[in-house]
Amino acid sequence: MRLDLWLWAVRLYKTRSIAVTAIRAGHVQLNGTLPKPAREVQPGDVVTARVGDLTRTLRAKGSPRSRVGAAMVPDYADDLTPPEEYEKRKMEAAEVTGVRPRGSGRPTKRDRRQMDEMMG
């Protein structure tokens, strides 16, 4: 299966044209090299793709006939992305939105003042 089609089928990119653009821009590597969109993906190939600010690493297990549901993605690709990548994304999201830790209760008046200072 073509690399651009495989990236779309395993839900790394929303559309095939976005996948082609990412490959041509050098955001996708196949076994450590910069491929062309038509390059064939074989089982065992390692695909590294930058999706937004996250760098995902997948090992191909097979090629689906068409785009698969999120629950079926593990049948066609192993996720080798280091947990630090996901943690980095969570930390950036928390900084932007001011998310409070789960279980910390309602913010105090002092907490509200600090949040208001951060926001504006």
Tens of pLDDT, residues 24-46: 999 999 999 999 999 999 999 99
The position carrying tokens 């969570």 is 90
Give CA–CA dist 115/109, Å, rounded.
Answer: 10
Helix (H, G, I), strand (E, B) or coil at 112: helix
- Residue 53 reports pLDDT greater than 90: no
pLDDT value of position 99: 67
For residue 25, give the nearest of 12, 38, 16, 34 by alpha carbon. 34
- Residue 106 reports pLDDT greater than 80: yes
Domains of the chain: 3-119 (3.10.290.10)
